[in-house]
Amino acid sequence: NIFSFHYLNNNYIMKKNYSNIYSFNKKIIKKTVNFLKLSNIVGLPTETVYGLAGNAYSDKAIKKIYSLKKRPRRNPLIIHYYNYEKAKKDVYFNKNFFKLYKRFCPGPITFVLKKNKNSDISSLATASLNTVAIRFPKHRVIKTLLKFLSFPLAMPSANISSGLSPIDAFNVFEEFKKKLKIIIDGGRSKIGIESTVVDLTNHPKILRPGIISPNEIRNILKTNFSKKKINLRSPGMMKKHYSPGIPVIIGQKPKNINHAYIVFGKRFKSSKNYFNLSKKGDLKEAAANLYKIMRKIKKNGFKKIYVSKIPSFGPGIAINDRLSRASK
Ligand code: TXA
Ligand code: MG
């Protein structure tokens, strides 16, 4: 029976190919904790995007992360903690930090703070800067791990440098195949774009917009960084980034059916080459769909991506930031 042969064969291939993807349970947590203690790297889910995690106190682990990602060494990593108490000896907190921590953590926000002199963080992870980016993720898989570990996790997005961030375990597999011994499947990342990065070392500055908008942050801090032009640059942040691997053109309509069109809102009809980020015009939903849709467009063989206008407030600021970088 040819059909069942194929079926069995496919099943075999499935098993063989994805044997490094694990679902979340006590056994895999234990295995992952031990693996991380030995300075190994694993693929983990977070609520924003999937990450490539390693012991932030270990030079050996950090070197592995940079080489796996092919990331320039001058681009520092975000250090992830269970809670602020675990971060005490690594950074200097300030009032603005506590205001935002109280409101948004655990959650999709990253704080740049001064590095504590007694910090154990590998200087490779911070690209030898005297500041550190720290985050307190919410996803239960990463929270469970951080709770059991005696060190924080350095964790960039789990993609080869300059590509799209992964939002499920299979996306991570596509990037690194069997180079990772463990990828934990924690379902699709609900937020779907990377955390908001806010620099609190001086006057607050947004370095990377995310689902938490500049307005929300401004409302909590009651300081105004609106007069200053928002600085969207982090050290080492490349101009070309978040690239789907095909040209992205903003503000024009597609020329033919071989070009994909990313649209937003209900005024767009359905069409084979139209991809709606959110039919109901919800920017949060649009952000969650952005990378999924860009991957799908690439997979379906389209040669170019055109993008219609997307509102630039709230999460729209982050969506436009990612699209504009993808178009560089
Ligand atoms: O949502 C996220 O933040 C994800 C998940 C996995 O947690 N992580 C993530 O990491 O997006 P990555 O490495 O792809 O982006 C880190 C960003 C970069 O833009 C980097 O330049 C910036 O944070 N960054 C890290 N340390 C910094 C520092 N000391 N000062 C300024 N920017 C910093
Ligand atoms: Mg990244």
- Kindly state if the Cβ of 139 falls inside 6 Å of ligand 1: no
Numbers of helices and strands, H then E, in the chain: 10, 15
- Whole-angstrom Cα distance, residue 244 to residue 298? 7
Q: What is the pLDDT of residue 225?
A: 67
Given the DSSP bridges, would you call strands 109-115 and 131-135 parallel, antiparallel or unpaired? Answer: antiparallel
- Kindly state if the Cβ of 206 falls inside 6 Å of ligand 1: no
- Whole-angstrom Cα distance, residue 208 to residue 282? 21
Could you read off the pLDDT tens digit of each residue along the chain, which spans 328 residues?
A: 333 333 444 444 444 579 999 999 999 999 999 999 999 999 999 999 999 999 999 999 999 999 999 999 999 999 999 999 999 999 999 999 999 999 999 999 999 999 999 999 999 999 999 999 999 999 999 999 999 999 999 999 999 999 999 999 999 999 999 999 999 999 999 999 999 999 999 999 999 999 999 999 999 999 876 444 444 456 556 667 889 999 999 999 999 999 999 999 999 988 999 999 999 999 999 999 999 999 999 999 999 999 999 999 999 999 999 999 999 8
DSSP string computed for 91-146 = EE--HHHHHHHHHH-SSSEEEEEEEPTT--S-TTTTTT-SEEEEE----HHHHHHH
In the reported structure, the alpha carbon of residue 209 is separated from the centroid of ligand 1 by a whole-number distance in angstroms of 11
Single-letter residue type at 205 = K
Q: What is the pLDDT of residue 2?
A: 37
Residue with tokens 């908008």: 213
Residues in a beta bridge with 262 = 275, 307
Q: In the chain, where does DSSP find H-type helix?
A: 2-17, 26-37, 59-69, 84-87, 95-104, 140-148, 169-176, 214-221, 283-299, 315-326
Is-contact 79 146, C-beta < 8 A?
no
Q: Which of 112, 171, 234, 243 to mutate to test the pocket of ligand 1 (most atoms within 8 A of CB)?
A: 234
Q: What is the pLDDT of residue 234?
A: 60
The model carries a pTM of 0.93
In the reported structure, the alpha carbon of residue 30 is separated from the centroid of ligand 1 by a whole-number distance in angstroms of 27
CB atoms closer than 10 angstroms to residue 170? 15
- Kindly state if the Cβ of 197 falls inside 6 Å of ligand 1: yes
